[in-house]
Structure 1
Amino acid sequence: MRKVLLMMMVCCGLTTNVMAKEWKTIRFMVEGAYPPFNWTTEDGQLAGFDVDLANALCEELKVTCVIRKQDWDGIIPALLARKSDAIIAAMTITPSREEKVAFTAPYARVPQRFIMPNQRDIDTSQEGMGKLVVGVQRATIGDEYLSQTYPDIEIRRYNTFDEAFSDLLNGRLDTVFGGAIGLRSGFLDTEEGKNYHFTGPSYTDPKWFGKGVGIAVRKQDEDLKALLNNALDTLVKDGRHKSIADKYFSYDIYHTEVM
C-alpha cells in the first residue's frame, strides 16, 4: 500500500510540475513616471509606450490586462511578493537583475547619456567628474555605474527624473545621467529643457548597461516568459510593435543603440 501511495504521489507531483498555469489575466507593473515609456496623466491614468505594448501583448494572448503603478525602487520586490506578474517599465536587462528575476527578449534598446546646459560639456575623466554633482534616479543602472566607476563624485539620488530635472534647472546639479530616450522626451524636448543638451558619449557597454529593455517576470514563471516572448515576436514581425513605437519615438526603438 505504501508503495502504491508513493507512486501516486510521484505521478501527481510530476503531472503538477509539467502542467503550465493557464494565464487568463496578466498583471503588469509600470513606474508611471518615465515618459515616453510610461507616465501618469493629469486625471490619474497610465499612458505611454509600455502601457500600449502591454495591452497589445494581452490582446495577442487573449488575456485580461491589468496595469498598475509602482514606485521604481520597490518594483522588483513587489513582483517577487506576487503583487503583479510582470514588470514592463523600461527596465534594462542586467546581470545583477537577472539574479533576481527572468527577462523576456529585449523590446527596446536605450543608451545612457549625460545632459548639461548648452554652454557646458562634460569631462568624463576621474578629475573632471570629481568636480561635479550628478543627479540619477535611485537604484538604476546609471546609479550603479557612476557609483562604481567614479568614487569621488557627489551623486544625488531621486525617486523620479522629474525631481532631478527640477534640481538641474535650479542649479543644484551640474548634470543628470540616465536613459537617453527618457531624458530627451522628459526634458530636452520640453520648453524647460531647450537650453540643455546631451554631452559626452553614449554608454552601451553590456557589462554595465545590459542587453536592452525587457519584461521582467519571476524566475519560476517560465511559462509566462515563453508566452510573452512568443507574443512579442509576433508583434515585431507583423509590424504592431513598430506601429505602437512610432506614436512615441521618431527613431527605431527596437534597434537603436546610440543617440
Structure 2
Amino acid sequence: MQISKRLAVLASAAVFSLFAGVAMADGEKLVIGTEGAYPPFNNLEADGTLTGFDVDIAKALCEEMKVECTFVTQDWDGIIPALIAKKFDAIVASMSITAERKEKVDFSKKYYNTPPAIVVPKDSEITEATAAALAGKLLGAQSSTTHSNYAEAHMKDSELKLYPTSDEYKLDIANGRIDAVIDDVVVLSEWLKSDDGTCCKLLGTLPVDPVINGEGAGIAVRKGETALADRFSAAIAAIRANGKYQEINAKYFPFDVYGDSD
C-alpha cells in the first residue's frame, strides 16, 4: 500500500537524521502516533480530525523543532509495538514514563503530570477514595495503563474489570454495571463536566505511587533513539519558556497540569 511505503520512508528519514547527529533540517517529516480515544488529551472527532491537549502540544513541539508532523491513531494496547514496528516515529498519547516501559522505549522529559482519581455514581454509598472503601466493589479501568496497574497493586480486594478504551468503562458506570472507575483526575474531571458525565461524581484523588505512576507523561521513541527524545525534551523546555505551553494549557484546563518543576 502507498501509505505503508510512505510511513517506511518517513521512519527511515528520521533514523537517518539521528545517526547523522545533526539538528533536524527544515522540511523534515515525523509521524506522531496517538490513541484518539482519551479526551481531553487526545480524541478522534466525527469528522476525522484529531483534537486535544496531547495533539496541540505535539504540534507546538514540531513547530519548535522545525519539522513537519503528521498524525496516525493506534489502539492503546498496540501502541508501543506499533512504534517499535516503525508505523510512526514517536508516541504523544499521555503515556506515563515508567521503569517497565523504559525497557521497551526511550522517553523525553515529562510534558505533564497529574494524579489518578476515583469516580463513582452520584447515588453511590462509597464515600472515600481508599482501598478499604472499594473492597468488594467492581472497579473499572482502561487496560494496559498505569491506572489499571495501580488498581491491581493497591486495590487487591476490589474486583477489577478492564476495558480497551475509557469510553467503554464510562458507558458501564453510567448504566450501573460497575461500582467505580479509576483514571487520571483530569480525564475524569473533564468527563464529569460533559453531558455524558452527569451520572457520576469525583470521589477524590489517590496517593501517587512513583513506581507505578512514573515520572509524568512523556514522549516515547524507539529504544536507542535518544537524540530524538532529547530534541523533544529541549522543545518542551522551550515552549514552557516562551509561553506556548501555558497558552495550550489554558485552552483545556484552569490549572497548570505540568506538575512540580523538575
TM-score (norm 1): 0.86
**37-46 or 18-27, larger mean C-alpha shift:** 18-27
CA distance in 1, matches of 2:94, 2:129: 28
Equivalence map 1:66-215=2 (5 Å): 66-120=70-124, 121-122=127-128, 124-126=130-132, 128-185=133-190, 187-215=191-219
Give the secondary-structure state (helix, strand or coil) at the position aligned to 1:225: helix
Offset at 1:179?
0.7
Please give the per-residue CA displacement for 1:144-169, whole angstroms capped at 9, x wherever unaligned: 12113333421111111111010001
Offset at 1:129?
2.9
CA distance in 2, matches of 1:92, 1:198: 22
Offset at 1:174?
0.1
- 8 Å contact from structure 2 (residues 36, 43) kept in 1: yes
Count residues in correspondence: 240
CA distance in 2, matches of 1:148, 1:112: 14
Greater Cα radius of gyration, structure 1 or 2:
1
Q: Tell me which residue corresponds to 1:234.
A: 238
- 8 Å contact from structure 1 (residues 21, 223) kept in 2: no
When residues 153 and 64 of structure 1 are mapped into structure 2, their CA distance, relative to the original with a 3 A threshold, is same
Please give the per-residue CA displacement for 1:108-163, whole angstroms capped at 9, x wherever unaligned: 1111000012343246245x433100110010011112113333421111111111
CA distance in 1, matches of 2:195, 2:29: 40
- 8 Å contact from structure 1 (residues 110, 256) kept in 2: no
When residues 201 and 248 of structure 1 are mapped into structure 2, their CA distance, relative to the original with a 3 A threshold, is closer
- 8 Å contact from structure 1 (residues 203, 209) kept in 2: no
Q: Tell me which residue corresponds to 1:5.
A: none
* Structure 1 alignment gaps of length 5 or more: 1-15
**239-248 or 192-201, larger mean C-alpha shift:** 192-201
Percentage of identical aligned residues: 38
Q: What is the aligned counterpart of 1:52 among 46, 53, 56?
A: 56
CA distance in 1, matches of 2:129, 2:116: 16
Q: Tell me which residue corresponds to 2:13.
A: none
TM-score (norm 2): 0.85
- 8 Å contact from structure 1 (residues 113, 178) kept in 2: yes
CA distance in 1, matches of 2:177, 2:18: 55
When residues 60 and 125 of structure 1 are mapped into structure 2, their CA distance, relative to the original with a 3 A threshold, is closer
* Structure 2 alignment gaps of length 5 or more: 1-16
Please give the per-residue CA displacement for 1:208-250, whole angstroms capped at 9, x wherever unaligned: 2111111111121111011111111110000101111111111
When residues 148 and 125 of structure 1 are mapped into structure 2, their CA distance, relative to the original with a 3 A threshold, is closer
- 8 Å contact from structure 1 (residues 135, 175) kept in 2: yes
2:65 is the counterpart of 1:61: yes
2:214 is the counterpart of 1:245: no
Give the secondary-structure state (helix, strand or coil) at the position aligned to 1:255: coil
Please give the per-residue CA displacement for 1:155-196, whole angstroms capped at 9, x wherever unaligned: 1111111110100011100001011111111x2111232342
CA distance in 1, matches of 2:232, 2:129: 42
CA distance in 2, matches of 1:27, 1:152: 42
Letter in 1 for 2:192: L
Letter in 1 for 2:20: M
